[in-house]
Amino acid sequence: MDLQRKLEILADSAKYDASCASSGSDRGGRGAGAAHISGVCHSWTADGRCVSLLKVLMTNECVYDCAYCVNRRSNDVPRASLTPDEIASLAFEFYKRNYIEGLFLSSGIAGSPDRTMELLLEAVRKLRREFRFNGYVHLKVIPGADRTLIDQAGLWADRVSVNIELPTDKSLRLLAPGKTKETVLGPMDRLAGRIAAYRDERRSIKSAPAYAPAGQSTQLIIGATPETDLEIMKLSEALYGKMRLKRVYYSAFVPVSRDSRLPALAEPPLLREHRLYQADWLLRFYGFTADELLDEKHPELDLAFDPKTVWALNNLERFPLEVNTADYEALLRVPGIGVTSARRILRARRAGTLKLDDLKKLGVVMKRAVYFVTAAGKYAGIKKESGEAIKVKLLEHKNPNGQLDLFGRLELAKEGLAATVTGQL
Amino acid sequence: MRRYLHDGSFTGFLTALALALERGGADCAIAPQRAAGGASEPELFAEYISAGSDPGRAAAMRELFERRGSAGSWRHARYAFLSENPGSGTALLAYARLLLEKGPAADDMLADGRVRRVHALSAAVGGEAHMFKGFVRFTELADGALYSRIEPEHNILPLITGHFRARLGGFNWVIHDARRTSAALYFKGRLVIAPLEKARLEEDAGEALVRELWKHFFRTAAIKERENPQLQRRNVPLKYRKNLTEFG
């Protein structure tokens, strides 16, 4: 099989992993390449997703038979493998031409987890040592591999990850025979410990080696199993808190194999995925907790409205907020105000009192914010503050014809897709 | 109306800016010579003044932005100039006057038209420079050097050379801005930006294969069930695709 065909098969098998970040690392040193602290996208594929890394599997052969996975043992797909030499040289040739920012390397489990992990490490070691590559590497850790092998991952890679894929142990047992919560969370916990220990060391000794300087991430598949958004957000919250993860990725389930245990979906739940990313952003950058966004009575995110708007409508007694005096944390909770515009408001009001007209110039999305703010005492929202009335107004913006019909939902889905990459609200 | 004309260089522009501030007049403008003497008719009642290029005056202008402005003012001025927007000279004149009046606080006046105009130009240039850190595509030549052709909207070449120097310090490379017929040439660790009309290129023998591999990879990486050409177009505007290997 020629290299082109192999690459095709192994890129095809890797593409369902949503992770694309190349940021958060800054490798010094000689040789070719450097990582960019804020990340760089090099292109965007026809589905609108950013390409920054050569994302491939080392092999798509696998001993597991996870129902959701395109590479499951029982799936009739062409199989291929790349050698560590082929991977390293391909990554280097692509990098040199500035096609990519680095390598994302994962693998099916061929033979034993140990052997697979060894080969993955060898590929990255070659890239670093023989090609003297200082660019970005994201390396998957193989659940079930020996501790000493898992420990090495962070020495060579900028980012390490183990995918949880299914949010609960029950779902894992159902769809991923051979995997349990422990086999996934064990290595993740181990890596979190390493990362923290090395970071401490570097605080006192500058020249101490870096260990996965861009941290750890994971992925959850959305819609293959019956978990609620509340369960998912609680899990993410715990992963960011206890495991100190940098990112949790959500991947709308694309039916890639037929299995009676899987739901029959007409299309991947992209709008739901988008709402989860928005909620995730609220946890990481906006100071929200999962409990503020969802509860047992309302365990699913509203598809018609973004989660911050829903929260604001449920907490109308906190609004309207005076933009000239509100603190940063309070501004961040206003629908239509993001991190950038909140910072701009703080800066601009040092130079003078802000009027309603000024807010749009600062980047505030007034069609949403207008119901929730005053500027110099002036309010331009609707007089009778009722959540329902505001909802109707907000929907008019999205769908001038009134009702949110099936078509309206379709439009929303598109809007959702457009924003997925950044997760901006 | 007075129009101060500059030669297109940054020193020339700063000289024109200095003259406009010194001799002033409420309705004066700054423009590149090329635009004034080119296709458009000179305006009947305008007075044209060629500013020339005076390093002393230019240095004084830099000092003005650095001393009177905030930490970002000098960068905003450089970036806005690189935008090559026809109104950027006059916008920077208004901005400089505001800095003289208000000091560093001027950059906080984010709702003020004079500040917004310059900040917006600067952000457009900074944004495009960041995009081109990703959009530059090199071809390996027979002698091992790497060649890239770009056609950015703004003159971002000077802003991305540092990035590629850090990244490809061990190679010889050329980034050719075909729109401005200028190129960054990095040879044996030395970097120059020089005029370059056309480059004669001889590709390395292995180049076609790597290019094909990349195109295949790029096509394969898209998930059919999620196809979204609008989103792709928003992220990779059509005007940039001409020089992107994967769209060729």
Q: What is the pLDDT of residues B56-72, one digit of tens each?
A: 999 999 999 999 999 99
Interface contact A49, partner B, CB < 8 A: yes
Q: Residue A357 half-sphere exposure, CB side, CA atoms within 13 Å?
A: 3
Q: Please give the tally of structural domains in chain A.
A: 2
**What is the least distance, in Å, from the CA of B6 to any CA of chain A?**
32
Place A70 in a pLDDT band, splitting at 50, 70 and 90: very high
Interface contact A422, partner B, CB < 8 A: no
pLDDT computed for residue A370 by the predictor: 95
pLDDT computed for residue A384 by the predictor: 65
Is the pLDDT at A417 greater than 50? The verdict is no
**What is the least distance, in Å, from the CA of B27 to any CA of chain A?**
25
Place B86 in a pLDDT band, splitting at 50, 70 and 90: very high
pLDDT computed for residue A30 by the predictor: 61
Whole-number percent of chain A with pLDDT over 70: 91
Interface contact A297, partner B, CB < 8 A: no
pLDDT computed for residue A405 by the predictor: 43
pLDDT computed for residue A82 by the predictor: 98
Please report the residues numbered 131 through 150 in chain A whose beta carbons come closer than 8 angstroms to any beta carbon of chain B.
135
Of A3, A362, A420, the CB nearest to B111: A362
Q: What is the mean pLDDT of residues A275-295?
A: 97
Taking residue A297's Cβ as centre, other Cβ atoms within 10 Å add up to 6
pLDDT computed for residue A267 by the predictor: 87
CA A267 to chain centre: 20
What are A27's two structure tokens? Answer: 């490798």
Place A235 in a pLDDT band, splitting at 50, 70 and 90: very high
Best residue in A95, A99, A106, A361 for a mutation probing chain B (most B CBs within 10 Å): A99
Contact B222 A47 (CB under 8 A): yes
pLDDT computed for residue A396 by the predictor: 76
Contact A11 B137 (CB under 8 A): no
Contact residues for B80 (Cβ-Cβ < 8 A; gap 6+): B88, B91, B92, B95, B118, B121, B122, B125
Predicted TM-score (pTM) of this structure: 0.92
Contact B227 A47 (CB under 8 A): yes
Pick the range with the lowest mean pLDDT from A58-62, A176-180, B208-212.
Answer: A176-180
pLDDT computed for residue B229 by the predictor: 94
**What is the least distance, in Å, from the CA of A56 to any CA of chain B?**
9
Identify the closest residue of chain B to A135 by CA–CA distance: B167
Contact, B98 vs B106, CB < 8 A? Answer: yes
Q: What is the mean pLDDT of residues A294-317?
A: 95
Pick the range with the lowest mean pLDDT from A9-23, A282-296, B80-94.
Answer: A9-23
* Opening angle at CA A334, ends A402 and A409, nearest 5: 30
> Can you tell me the distance from the alpha carbon of B13 to that of A422, in angstroms, rounded to the nearest whole number?
37
**What is the least distance, in Å, from the CA of A295 to any CA of chain B?**
30
Contact B167 A48 (CB under 8 A): no
Question: In chain B, where are the structural domains located?
Answer: 2-128, 136-247
Whole-number percent of chain B with pLDDT over 70: 96
Structural domain harbouring A18? 3-162+192-217
Contacts of A340 in chain B (CB under 8 A): none
> Can you tell me the distance from the alpha carbon of B2 to that of B86, in angstroms, rounded to the nearest whole number?
16
Contacts of B133 in chain A (CB under 8 A): 36, 40
Query: Across all residues in chain B, what is the average pLDDT?
Result: 93
Using the CB atoms, write b or e for A109-146: b if 16+ within 10 Å.
bbeebeebbbbbbbbbebbbeebebbbbbbbbbbbbbe
Is the pLDDT at A421 greater than 70? The verdict is no
**What is the least distance, in Å, from the CA of A341 to any CA of chain B?**
11
How does pLDDT run across A5-38, given as a tens digit for each residue?
999 999 999 998 888 777 766 665 567 777 777 7
Is the pLDDT at A229 greater than 50? The verdict is yes
The reply to whether A18 falls in a domain is yes
pLDDT computed for residue A424 by the predictor: 36
Is the pLDDT at B161 greater than 90? The verdict is yes
Of A8, A33, A47, the CB nearest to B228: A47
The reply to whether A313 falls in a domain is yes
Is the pLDDT at A403 greater than 50? The verdict is no
Is the pLDDT at A401 greater than 70? The verdict is no
Place A389 in a pLDDT band, splitting at 50, 70 and 90: confident
Of A36, A44, A94, the CB nearest to B235: A44
Alpha helix stretches (DSSP H) within A53-176: 84-96, 113-129, 147-156, 169-175
Q: What is the mean pLDDT of residues A395-423?
A: 48
Pick the range with the lowest mean pLDDT from B6-15, B26-35, B63-72, B228-237.
Answer: B26-35
Q: Note the ipTM here.
A: 0.94
Is the pLDDT at A113 greater than 60? The verdict is yes
Interface contact A96, partner B, CB < 8 A: yes
pLDDT computed for residue A416 by the predictor: 47
Contact residues for A60 (Cβ-Cβ < 8 A; gap 6+): A9, A10, A13, A70, A71, A77, A79, A80, A81, A108
Total CB pairs under 8 A between chain A and B: 162
Q: What is the mean pLDDT of residues A204-213?
A: 89
Beta strands in A277-422 (DSSP E): 321-322, 373-374
Is the pLDDT at A410 greater than 70? The verdict is no
Is the pLDDT at A140 greater than 60? The verdict is yes
Q: What is the mean pLDDT of residues B96-119?
A: 96
Q: What is the mean pLDDT of residues B229-241?
A: 95
pLDDT computed for residue A309 by the predictor: 95
Is the pLDDT at A373 greater than 50? The verdict is yes
Pick the range with the lowest mean pLDDT from A92-101, A394-403, A404-413, B199-208.
Answer: A404-413
Identify the closest residue of chain A to B102 by CA–CA distance: A351
pLDDT computed for residue A20 by the predictor: 76
**What is the least distance, in Å, from the CA of A70 to any CA of chain B?**
12
Contact A44 B166 (CB under 8 A): no
Contact A11 B217 (CB under 8 A): yes
pLDDT computed for residue A206 by the predictor: 84
Best residue in A96, A256, A265, A356 for a mutation probing chain B (most B CBs within 10 Å): A96
The reply to whether A296 falls in a domain is no
Interface contact A223, partner B, CB < 8 A: no
Of A154, A184, A217, the residue at which a domain comes to its end is: A217
Q: What is the mean pLDDT of residues A177-201?
A: 92
Contacts of B116 in chain A (CB under 8 A): 361
Plot region of A397 (φ>0 → left; ψ -120 to 50 → alpha; else → beta): alpha
